[in-house]
C-alpha cells in the first residue's frame, strides 16, 4: 500500500471533525454500515460458486441454511445495526414495518436501507447494490415512525455500495461525494474517487426501461422520442440495477429515469421507493452537482406519507433533469 492510499475509516474520522453534531457514534455507525457492506460483498462474490458447488438446496455443506442473497443482506444489516447503541431503529425495503430498538436509550440515529437492490440481476452475475440513508432522531433515545417519515433534505448521510467488477462505496455526509474501492486483499476500502461531480456539460446518456413505453404518459413518451431524435441523439444505457445505472451516470453524466406508468390504469405509479432508493441517491446527486425530481417536485423536498412510498424518478446531470421536467410539464415540444 503506498502512502497516498487513504483508508475509509481515517477519512470518516477526519470528516467527523467538520460536523458539530457528529460524535464518535456517527463514525461507528458508518463503520458498521461498511462492515455490513463487506460481508454482503463477500457473499455476492461467492454466489456463482454456490451454484457450481450445488449448494442451492436448503442446507450448505456445513449443514447451515442457505439464505437467498437479499434475505442474507437484510439480516446482515439488522444483526449489525441492532447491536449499535446509537441506532434507535431501522427501516428496510425488505421489511413491512420498521424495527425499533427500544433498549437503545441513548440512540441518536435511524437508518433506512435497501439491502440488495436490483433483484432481477442477483442470479445472473450482473452488478447490484446496497443503498442506505441516515437521519438524526428528532428526540434522542426515542425512535418513532415520524423519524423515518421525513424529507430527504433532512438526511445527515446517504450512500451506496456497488457490487460490480470491484466493490465500491460512494457516500456523502453533506460535504461532497466520495468514492472508495474495496481492496479485497486488504479487506479495506481505499479512497479512489475524491469529491465526485457529475460532469456538466456531460455525455448524452439516458437510462430507462423503454419496454414500458406504452404505459407512460404522452409527455414522457415525447421526451424519450426527443432524446432519440434530437440533432445529437442520446445513447441508451440500461442495466436494470438502479445503483449501477446511477453510478454510471454519476461518473459519465446522463439521466436515469423510472417514470410514472399506467400498467394498472386505475392506479398509475412509479416503481422506485422514495425512502430507500430515491432519497439517498438524490442526496448524492445534489452534492455531486446533479439533480433529482419526480417530474414535478424536487425528490429531497417530498414529505413522505408512508414508509414504502413509490415515486417516479428522474436523476442525474442537472441540465438533463431540468429538460425532462420541462417536457413532462408540457413546456417543451
Ligand atoms: P428491486 O428493489 O425489486 O430490486 O427493484 C428496483 C430495481 C432497480 O434497481 C431498477 O432501477 C429497477 O428496479 C428496474 O426495474 P425494471 O426491471 O422494471 O426495469
Ligand atoms: Mg430496491
Q: What's the CATH number where 290 sits?
A: 3.40.190.80
Mean pLDDT of the chain: 90
Residue 21 belongs to domain with CATH number: 3.30.540.10
The verdict on 187 and 209 lying in the same domain is no
Question: Of 145, 171, 193, which one is at a domain's C-terminal end?
Answer: 193
Contact 148, 164 (CB under 8 A): no
144 lines ligand 1 (CB under 6 A): no
Q: How far, in Å, CA of 81 to CA of 75, rounded?
A: 10
Phi, psi of 256 (to 5 degrees): -105, 140
Residue 125: closest CA among 238, 258, 239: 239
Residue with cell 428526540: 139
How far does the centroid of ligand 2 lie from the alpha carbon of residue 25, in Å?
27
Residues whose CB is less than 8 angstroms from the CB of residue 146 and which lie 6 or more positions away in sequence, other chains included: 138
On the 0-12 / 13-18 / 19+ scale of CB atoms within 10 A, 249 is buried
Please give, one letter per residue, the 3-state secondary structure of the chain. CCCCCCEHHHHHHHHHCCCCCCCHHHHHHHHHHHHHHHHHHHHHHCHHHHHHCCCCCCECCCCCECCCHHHHHHHHHHHHHCCCCCEEEEEECCCCCCEECCCCCCCCEEEEEEEEECHHHHHHCCCEEEEEEEEECCECCECCHHHHCCCHHHCCEEEEEEECCCEEEEEECCCCEEEEEEECCCCEEEEEECCCCCCCCCCCEEECCHHHHHHCCHHHHHHHHHHHHCCCCCEECCCCCHHHHHHHHHHHCCEEEECCECCCCCCCECCEEHHHHHHHHHHHHHHCCCEEECCCCEHHHCCCCCCCCEECEEEECHHHHHHHHHHHCCCCC
Q: Is residue 304 part of a domain?
A: yes
Query: Among 112, 113, 212, 242, which residue has the most ligand 1 atoms within 8 Å of its CB, making it the best to mutate?
Result: 242
Q: Is the CB of 130 under 6 A from ligand 1?
A: no
Q: How confident is the model at residue 4 (pLDDT cuts 50, 70, 90)?
A: low
Q: Are residues 29 and 154 in the same domain?
A: yes
Residues 186, 212, single domain; the answer is no
Per-residue pLDDT of 215-255, as tens digits, reads 999 999 999 999 999 999 999 999 999 999 999 999 999 99
State the Cα–Cα distance between residues 36 and 23, nearest whole angstrom: 21
Q: What is the predicted pLDDT for the residue at 227?
A: 97
pLDDT digits (tens, 9 = 90+) for 17-71: 766 666 788 889 999 999 999 999 998 888 765 554 444 455 544 555 556 888 8
> Which residues on adjacent β-strands are paired with residue 130?
161
Closest C-alpha to 159, from 139, 143, 179: 179
The C-alpha cell that represents 40 in the structure block: 454482503
Query: How many domains, in total, are found in the chain?
Result: 2
Last residue within a domain, chosen from 163, 193, 223: 193
**Percent of the chain at pLDDT above 70?**
91
In a domain, 311, yes or no: yes
For residues 108 and 253, state if they share a domain.
Answer: no
Compute the distance between CA of residue 118 and CA of residue 162 in angstroms, rounded to an integer.
11
Q: Report CA Rg, the chain.
A: 20
Q: Write down which residue in 169, 193, 217 finishes a domain.
A: 193
Is the same domain home to 265 and 159?
Answer: no
Q: Are residues 315 and 210 in the same domain?
A: yes
Please answer whether residues 87 and 103 qualify as being in contact, where contact means their C-beta atoms are separated by less than 8 angstroms. no
Would you say the CB of residue 70 lies under 6 angstroms from ligand 1? no
Same domain, 144 and 58: yes
Q: Which pTM does this prediction carry?
A: 0.93
pLDDT of 52 reads: 46
Among residues 56, 33, 36, the alpha carbon closest in space to that of 46 is found at 56
Q: Can you tell me the distance from the alpha carbon of 74 to that of 164, in angstroms, rounded to the nearest whole number? A: 19
User: What is the mean predicted confidence (pLDDT) over 8-16?
Assistant: 77
Q: Which of 118, 215, 239 to mutate to test the pocket of ligand 1 (most atoms within 8 A of CB)?
A: 118
Cβ contact 293:258 at 8 Å: no
Whether 139 and 171 map to the same domain: the answer is yes
Q: Give domain status of residue 295, yes or no.
A: yes
Cα separation of the two ends of the chain: 54
Q: Residues with beta carbon < 5 A to ion ligand 2?
A: 114, 117
CA 118 to centroid of ligand 1, rounded, Å: 5
- 308 C-beta closer than 6 A to ligand 1: no
Does one domain contain both 14 and 151?
A: yes
| 142 and 175 part of one domain | yes
Print the domain residue range for 78: 8-193
Phi, psi torsion values for 155, nearest 5 degrees: -60, 140
Same domain, yes or no: 170 and 217: no
Residues 185 and 239 in one domain: no
pLDDT in tens, 106-151: 999 999 999 999 978 887 889 999 999 999 999 999 999 999 999 9
Amino acid at each position: 500500500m503506498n502512502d497516498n492510499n487513504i483508508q475509509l475509516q481515517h477519512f470518516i474520522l477526519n470528516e467527523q471533525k467538520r460536523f458539530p453534531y457528529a460524535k464518535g457514534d456517527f463514525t461507528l455507525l458508518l463503520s458498521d454500515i461498511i462492515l455490513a457492506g463487506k460481508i454482503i460483498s463477500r457473499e455476492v462474490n461467492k454466489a456463482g460458486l454456490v451454484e457450481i458447488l450445488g449448494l442451492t438446496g436448503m442446507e450448505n455443506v456445513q449443514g447451515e441454511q442457505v439464505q437467498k442473497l437479499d434475505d442474507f443482506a437484510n439480516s446482515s444489516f439488522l444483526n449489525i445495526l441492532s447491536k449499535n447503541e446509537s441506532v434507535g431503529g431501522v427501516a428496510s425495503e425488505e421489511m413491512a414495518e420498521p424495527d425499533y430498538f427500544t433498549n437503545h436509550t441513548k440512540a441518536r440515529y435511524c437508518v433506512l436501507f435497501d439491502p440488495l437492490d436490483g433483484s432481477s440481476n442477483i442470479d445472473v452475475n450482473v452488478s447490484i447494490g446496497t443503498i442506505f440513508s441516515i437521519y438524526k432522531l428528532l428526540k434522542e433515545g426515542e425512535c418513532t415512525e415520524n423519524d423515518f417519515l421525513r424529507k430527504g433534505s433532512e438526511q445527515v448521510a446517504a450512500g451506496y455500495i456497488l457490487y460490480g467488477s470491484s466493490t465500491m462505496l460512494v457516500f456523502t455526509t453533506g460535504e461532497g461525494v466520495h468514492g472508495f474501492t474495496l481492496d479485497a486483499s486488504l479487506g479495506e476500502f481505499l479512497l479512489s474517487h475524491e469529491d465526485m461531480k457529475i460532469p456538466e456539460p456531460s455525455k448524452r446518456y439516458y437510462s430507462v426501461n423503454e419496454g414500458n413505453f406504452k404505459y407512460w404518459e404522452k409527455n414522457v413518451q415525447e421526451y424519450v422520442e426527443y432524446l432519440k431524435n434530437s440533432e445529437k441523439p442520446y445513447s441508451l444505457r440500461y442495466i436494470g440495477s438502479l445503483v449501477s445505472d446511477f453510478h454510471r451516470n454519476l461518473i459519465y453524466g446522463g439521466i436515469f429515469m423510472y417514470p410514472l406508468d399506467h400498467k394498472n390504469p386505475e392506479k398509475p405509479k412509479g416503481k422506485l421507493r422514495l425512502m430507500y432508493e430515491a432519497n439517498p441517491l438524490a442526496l448524492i446527486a445534489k452534492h455531486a452537482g446533479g439533480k433529482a425530481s419526480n417530474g414535478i417536485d424536487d425528490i429531497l423536498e417530498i414529505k413522505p406519507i408512508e414508509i414504502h412510498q413509490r415515486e417516479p424518478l428522474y436523476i442525474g446531470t442537472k441540465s438533463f433533469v431540468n429538460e425532462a421536467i420541462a417536457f413532462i410539464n408540457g413546456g417543451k415540444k
